[in-house]
Amino acid sequence: MRRDIYTALYAAVLGTVCALLLTAASVQLKPYQQANRKAERVRNILGVLDVPFDKKAPWAELEGVYRRNVRIDGNGANELYNRIDPEGEVLSVGVPLSGRGRNGPIQGFLALAPDMRTIRGITFYEHEETPGLGGEIENEQFRKKFIGKRIAGEGRIGIRITRPGGAAGDGQVDGITGATMTCRRVERMLNDRIGVIVAEAGHGG
Amino acid sequence: MADRPPACGPCLGACDGKGLATFQGGLLANNPISVQILGVCSALAVTNKLSNALVMGAALIFVCVGTNLLVSLLRKVTPRRIRMIAEVAIIATFVILVDQLLQAFYWDMSKRLGAYVGLIITNCIVMGRAEAFAMRNRPLVSVLDGVANGLGYAAVLGLIGFVRELGGNGTILGYPVLAAGPDGWYVKNLLLVGAPGAFLALGFLIAIANAIKPPAEEEMRP
């Protein structure tokens, strides 16, 4: 009996000490990690909008590029990250994506041409999908397949992510082998957003 | 463990006279990867670039040393029945700490290593050293054992990373060594960058290690 109590006490103390240590570390390191995440997000926005920038640039420089080239505008239900030239002309439009993946939340950006119909790029900057399978959504090979697709066409609104090798026609994109669930979730996330964009622009179909 | 290990001077016996043997064991004679074939998963996964391999090696050294120290310090008060759970809790603490530090100060590397830092928790080397060595030895020599095994792991990863990055990319730590690209003479060997290259490199490395020093058990077999 006394041994049992000792064992339980030992486990409780060890667990508490470990938890306290990790909590302290987490609290101390959080500001640095958040700064990294913010920079990562900005790099993704610049990347998807095709703004040239130095990937290894420090935050101050990155922020400067971001401020000069990206203007955040509202458009009804959409928050638009517009890439602008020095005269304020919109060159391309970034729309935030967010939704549920297979393993956790996915955050990304969709870049459209100023006509709001043609996809210029897509990126996912935060996800927890399985590396090598669902994680391949961040792979350029997959993301490039969306470029040039139109978000709505005859009788359809949205993009279909087909089984690998099954894509045919303008509104379809090849999925990733071994990542059917992730692709389905990405498709839903993308099309939810496309639905809102189309409704706002009023040019559906 | 038949012959007495050579006594070493500098630590004045604090290592119970097995400092040198412990160190050589972890690094060479009993190398966790090339002799014990442990921790192979990460050795294959993160070695397509030398820098990844080195950071992974450093992370493992940190975890192994920390775990061995704590497990050794606590070895007399740890109830036997839950000792392995206690070891895992300690290992997990150090691994999460490394992961958090990388995310804070080495973001790019953290993204490149991805899940493999977290997977150090399941790396048999760390658990194996805690259970086989730190549980029955004093703290100082346990730390030495952690350093030696971590270095042994890091050295193998570094070697594989060196071969794969040089052969697959023509670079070392990102610096061009063999002239690849449109104007260069070197044709990148994509096999080495991919997973098969990791298996090949590791296989040859283990073969070479065995050729130089045959494992003791096989010598004893008739």
Mutate to test the interface with B, among A6, A17, A33 (most CBs of B within 10 A): A33
Which residues from B are below 8 Å from A10, CB to CB? 77-79, 82, 86
| Interface ipTM | 0.79
CB burial of residue A80 (10 Å; 0-12, 13-18, 19+):
buried
With 0-12 CB in 10 A as exposed, 13-18 as middle and 19+ as buried, what is A178? middle
DSSP-based three-state secondary structure for A136:
helix
List of chain B residues whose C-beta atoms are within 8 Å of the C-beta of residue A135: 114
- Looking at residue A6, what is its pLDDT? 95
How many cross-chain Cβ pairs, A to B, lie less than 8 Å apart?
A: 51
How many angstroms separate the CA atoms of B172 and B81, rounded? 48
One-character DSSP codes across B107-165:
HHHHHHHTHHHHGGGG-HHHHHHHHHTGGGS-HHHHHHHHHHHHHHHHHHHHHHHHHHH
Q: What is the largest CA-CA distance in chain B?
A: 65
Strands (E), chain B: 171-172, 175-176
Q: What is the pLDDT of residues A159-179, one digit of tens each?
A: 999 988 888 888 899 998 888
| Cβ distance of B78 and A25 shorter than 8 Å | no
Neighbours of B25 (CB within 10 A): 19
Q: Do B82 and A3 touch (CB under 8 A)?
A: no
Q: Per the CB < 8 Å rule, is A33 touching B100?
A: yes
For residue A36, give the nearest of A58, A67, A51 by alpha carbon.
Answer: A58
CB contact under 8 A, A3 and B79: yes
Which residues on chain B are in Cβ contact (under 8 Å) with A3?
79
Nearest chain A CA: its distance from B33 CA (Å): 24
Partner-chain contact B89 A32, CB within 8 Å: no
B79/A7 touch (CB, cutoff 8 Å), yes or no: yes
Rounded to whole angstroms, the Cα distance separating A69 from B111 reads 26
| Nearest residue of B to residue A6, measured between CA atoms | B79
Which chain B residue lies closest to A12 (C-alpha atoms)? B86
- Chain A partners within 8 Å of B107 (Cβ): 36, 39-40
Interface mutation vs chain B, best among A3, A4, A18, A22, most B CBs within 10 Å? A18
Mutate which: B83, B85, B107, B112, vs A, most A CBs within 10 A = B107
Cβ <8 Å between A22 and B81: no
A21 to B92: CB separation less than 8 angstroms, yes or no: no
Q: For residue B13, what pLDDT is reported?
A: 59
Tens-digit pLDDT string for chain A (205 aa): 888 999 999 999 999 999 999 999 999 999 999 999 999 999 999 999 989 888 888 888 999 999 999 988 876 777 889 999 888 888 999 999 999 999 899 999 999 999 888 999 999 988 888 877 888 898 888 999 999 999 988 888 899 999 888 888 888 999 988 889 999 999 999 999 999 888 887 654 4
Contacts of B81 in chain A (CB under 8 A): 7
Strands A152-153 and A156-157 turn out to be antiparallel
Close Cβ partners of A160 (under 8 Å, ≥ 6 residues apart):
A171, A172, A173, A187
Domain residue ranges in chain B: 30-160
The reply to whether residue B79 touches residue A6, judged by beta carbons under 8 angstroms, is: yes
Contact A127, A104 (CB under 8 A): yes
Name the minimum distance, in Å, from the CA of B30 to any CA of chain A.
Answer: 31
Pick from A82, A77, A88: nearest CA to A198: A77
Question: Does A18 sit within 8 Å of B89, measured CB to CB?
Answer: yes
Query: Which pTM value belongs to this model?
Result: 0.80
pLDDT digits (tens, 9 = 90+) for B40-71: 888 888 888 899 999 999 999 999 999 999 99
Distance from CA of A4 to the nearest CA of B (A): 9
| φ/ψ (deg, to 5) at B74 | -95, 5
Distance CA B61, CA B67 (A): 10
Residue-level pLDDT at B216: 59
Give pLDDT < 50 ranges for chain B.
1-5, 220-221
